[in-house]
Amino acid sequence: MAGLPRRIIKETQRLMAEPVPGISAVPDEQNARYFHVVVAGPEGSPFEGGVFKLELFLPEEYPMSAPKVRFMTKIYHPNIDKLGRICLDILKDKWSPALQIRTVLLSIQALLSAPNPDDPLANDVAELWKVNEAEAIRNAREWTRTYAMGNI
Amino acid sequence: MHCRSRILASKIDPHLTPSAGGHINCVRNHKERFCTKVWTKQEKKSTMSNNDNESDVEYSETEECGYDDYYNPCNDADNETMNQKKCDPEHFEFECLTVDQVDRLLNELVETLSSRLRLTPSLSKLLLHAHNWALDSVIRMYLEDSSQLLVQSKLKPEKPPVVKTLSKTLVCPICIMMLPKDVFCGIGCSHLFCKGCWNTYLETQVMHGVSTATECMGCSVMATEDFVLPLLATPQLKERYVRHAFSDYVRSHPELRFCPGPNCNIIIRAKENKSKRIVCNSCKTTFCFRCGSDYHAPTDCETIRHWLTKCADDSETANYISAHTKVCPKCQICIEKNGGCNHMQCYGCKHDFCWMCLGDWKTHGSEYYRCSRYEENPNVANESSHARAKEALKKYLHYFERWENHAKSLRLEEQTLQRIRERIQCKVMTGTDGTWIDWQCLLDAAALLARCRYTLQYTYPYAYYMDAGPRKELFEYQQAQLEAEIENLSWKVERAETTDRGDLGIQMDVCEKRRTTLLQDFLES
């Protein structure tokens, strides 16, 4: 792709040279703005042992507007809906051009470790997470086993 | 959900649910118009006197004589205007300002602050904006601890900025370009970015409507207009920034509120932030100063919001049930009301009845008007949850029906006015019954009628959320009184055949007194 901004080139180079532990982000061969992302479920979370596929796209205005990120693997999480859309402030109104792909992916990893049912996207999941956390965590483990293991 | 409510509702009163198409057709065929009969003066008088005979004589006497003393304690001619402020519960002092006037007003505050504290005007502006334009308290806080105030207001970084390097070039963290040091700038925190990146960032912010809330790209320190404006490339962008910033300033100022009228640029200024009536002097929109929505006395902002949400949720069902038609209680003919007061006379059987309660009209002449009152079922606590749900729906429908009925009447107001104008035209042209000037009082009466109906409409949400008790009884009593007087006025306005201004004037006065009394007693002060 012609005219890829220096910023994107530099970020991609750094992601490849010093990858974030537990996360891999590889640009698509055809489109340097589209990344295939794989995030490992953080240790100690109900997603542990799972491997989650995501897609990340850098829009034309990047870095003035936030990257678009979506889970491709089904996940039982109060801030991620069934289409894989993520409720994360830095992807919306708290985006700043000083943030990077790296920081976004780290935030998503942190969100898996610490779900926030008070700011829900998937209402039914959030409800259960608040009312009966043990059962919600069981569900999340179950989904991780069903959808996020051995699929890659 | 809808289905369930519908079943419940039809169990309550099957008559209200139009079940067969035939009924609806009936409406067209037998459109009973309560105004169809032309009442002559004699007939009207005889009806009135009939009612009088039935009613308590003492009651009507107290109405005529005791009123002025009781309801108008400050009637002294000397200080009437002065006391009007105290007497009128709806009185509210406000002024309608233009954008320029408000601009001047805000600038005066900014200048005072910047000269007192030796700050730049643009910093003073943001400081005042962050503290709702409370000049005195900003000055006090600044003198106590200027640094803490600026940090708290996000106008200064928590730690003083670190000047990093002495080299002539820097790498911009946004575009990763190595550039000469002099193209870098920042808001006063330690974050420096190249001008090109600032340009694009600020343009994006302005295009998204962000102005006073513009932050540094690296932290949350706020950008002042002195910083933003020179970095915006085009005059259009600058203008847009200034416009958005102005709106933000008005919104943060507790004494100011934009007129909600479409395309109206007037800004209302009032000293107190109360839910009082504002009438814009430019576009004539009437609204509540506190919440900006339609004026809603005696109900408060919170309650009316609950009520309107509730109506929006339930209105489909309720609409279906009331469905614009009712059946005549005597001959069961289906009737659609398209205007006028609640005294109906059936086209078919000539039965006189009340549109609200479908009771015989004769019972409304004596005692007080009872059909604005909702009778709570005292056994409700003992009944099953199903019955309670039914009761709750019934209660809601009771209030909603009355609310909607007045709203409907108000919507028909333009037609009523048109009819009155035509009648005046007709009277004046035939030349027997007074001149055009003589008839103008009818239009005043119609305006008053609309005002009373409006207040009355908003008493129903108030009553709905009120707890049972003596206060509610008093409220419903006054509400019923107002209902009754309005019906009388409506009757008189529709049937005025002569320029008997005395009679009409008394009725108008009574209505307005009833309305003010109700507001005086129940409008939150």
Q: Please, which residues have CB within 8 angstroms of residue B92's CB and are 6 or more apart in sequence?
A: B270, B272, B274, B276, B277, B278, B289
CA distance B307 to chain A (A): 25
Place of tokens 């995501």: A54
User: What is the Cα Rg of chain B in Å?
Assistant: 31
Which positions in chain A have a beta carbon within 8 angstroms of at least one beta carbon in chain B?
5-7, 10, 61, 63-65, 96-98
Distance CA B492, CA B504 (A): 7
> Does B200 contact A6 at a Cβ distance shorter than 8 Å?
no
Give yes or no for a contact between A97 and A73, defined as CB atoms under 8 angstroms apart.
no
ipTM of the complex: 0.82
CA B400 to chain centre: 17
A93 interaction partners in chain B (CB closer than 8 Å) = none
Residue to substitute from A64, A89, A100, A103, interface B, most B β-carbons within 10 A: A64
Catalytic residue among B341, B346, B452, B511: B341
* pLDDT, tens digit, 9 for 90 and up, residues B306-357: 888 788 776 555 555 455 667 777 776 777 766 666 777 777 677 888 777 7
Euclidean distance between CA atoms A25 and B143, whole angstroms: 52
Rounded Cα distance, A33 and A25, in Å:
11
Check CB contact of B196 with chain A, cutoff 8 Å.
no
Which segments of chain B have a pLDDT < 70?
A: 1-87, 163-165, 314-325, 332, 337-341, 348, 363-389, 498-499, 524-525
- Distances, alpha carbon B296 to alpha carbons A138, B314, B475, in Å: 51, 20, 16
**Distance in Å, alpha carbon of A133 to nearest chain B alpha carbon:** 29
Q: Determine the pLDDT at residue B387.
A: 65
Judging contacts by C-beta atoms under 8 Å, the chain A residues touching residue B215 are: 96
Residue A63 with chain B: CB contacts under 8 Å: 174
**Distance in Å, alpha carbon of A77 to nearest chain B alpha carbon:** 29
Residue of A nearest to B204 (CA): A64
CA nearest to A7 within chain B: B175
Evaluate whether B264 touches B282 at the Cβ level (below 8 Å).
yes
Interface touch A98/B197, C-beta < 8 Å:
no
* pLDDT in the model for residue B125: 94
The reply to whether B20 touches chain A by the CB within 8 Å rule is no
Nearest CB among A61, A65, A98 relative to B218 is that of: A98
The answer, for B215 touching chain A at a CB cutoff of 8 Å, is yes
Instruction: Residue A65: list chain B partners with CB under 8 A.
Output: 204
Which 3-state string (H, E, C) describes chain A? CCCCCHHHHHHHHHHHHCCCCCEEEEECCCCCCEEEEEEECCCCCCCCCCEEEEEEECCCCCCCCCCEEEECCCCCECCECCCCEECCHHHCCCCCCCCCHHHHHHHHHHHHHCCCCCCCCCHHHHHHHHHCHHHHHHHHHHHHHHHCCCCC
List of chain A residues whose C-beta atoms are within 8 Å of the C-beta of residue B208 = none
What residue of A is the nearest CA neighbor of B200?
A64
pLDDT for residue A47 is more than 90 = yes
Model confidence at A85: pLDDT above 80: yes
HEC string for B196-251? HHHHHHHHHHHHCCCCCCCECCCCCCECCHHHHHHHCCCHHHHHHHHHHHHHHHHH
B209 vs A: CB within 8 A = no
> Which amino acid makes up residue B232?
L
One-letter amino acid of A28: D
**Residue B341 is a catalytic residue:** yes
Q: Where is pLDDT greater, at B389 or A15?
A: A15
Query: What's residue B63's pLDDT?
Result: 41
The whole-number pLDDT of residue B165 equals 66
Q: Are strands A34-40 and A23-27 parallel, antiparallel or unpaired?
A: antiparallel
Q: Do A6 and B177 touch (CB under 8 A)?
A: yes
Q: How far is B244 from chain A (nearest CA, A)?
A: 18
Please tell me the predicted confidence (pLDDT) of residue B505: 87
Alpha carbon of B316: minimum distance to chain A alpha carbons (Å):
26
Residue with tokens 């059987």: B349
Q: Which two tokens stand for residue B226?
A: 């002195």
Asked whether the beta carbons of residue B176 and residue A7 sit closer than 8 angstroms, the reply is yes
Which residue in the set A6, A61, A65 is minimally distant from B175, CB to CB?
A6
Structure tokens at A89: 């402030």
pTM above 0.80, yes or no: no
**Is residue B356 within 8 Å of residue B402, measured between CB atoms?**
yes
- Using a CB-CB cut-off of 8 Å, the residues of chain A touching B174 are 7, 63, 97-98
Q: Which amino acid is at B156?
A: K
| pLDDT value, residue A57 | 96
- Choosing from A40, A69, A87, A112, which is the catalytic residue? A87
Question: Nearest residue on chain B to A5, judged by CA atoms?
Answer: B175
Cβ distance B174 to A96 less than 8 Å, yes or no, reads no
Query: Residue for token digits 């949350």?
Result: B220
Residue type, B110: V
B177 lies within 8 A of chain A by CB: yes
Q: Are strands B277-279 and B267-269 parallel, antiparallel or unpaired?
A: unpaired
How big is the CA angle at B512 (ends B279 and B290), to the nearest 5 degrees?
30
In chain A, residues with a C-beta closer than 8 Å to the C-beta of B176 are 6-7, 10
Please tell me which of the candidates B177, B200, B217 has its beta carbon nearest to residue A98: B217
Q: Residue B367: its pLDDT value, please? A: 45
Please check whether residue B8 touches A, CB under 8 A: no
User: Tens digit of pLDDT for each residue in B449-464?
Assistant: 998 999 999 999 999 9
pLDDT the model gives residue B133: 94
pLDDT of residue B388: 67
| Cα A107 to chain centroid, rounded | 8
Note whether A6 contacts B176, CB cutoff 8 Å. yes
What local confidence, expressed as pLDDT, does residue B289 receive? 92
Give B144-199 as a DSSP string: H-HHHHHHHTTSS-SSPPPP---SSEEE-TTT--EEEGGGEE-SSSS--EEHHHHH
Residue B1 C-alpha, separation from nearest chain A C-alpha, in angstroms: 19
Kindly report which listed range (A67-76, A118-127, B22-31, B424-433) carries the lowest average pLDDT score: B22-31
Whether residue B201 and residue A64 make contact (CB cut-off 8 A), yes or no, is: yes
CA closest to A64 among chain B residues:
B201
Check if the beta carbon of residue B91 is closer than 8 Å to that of residue B85: yes
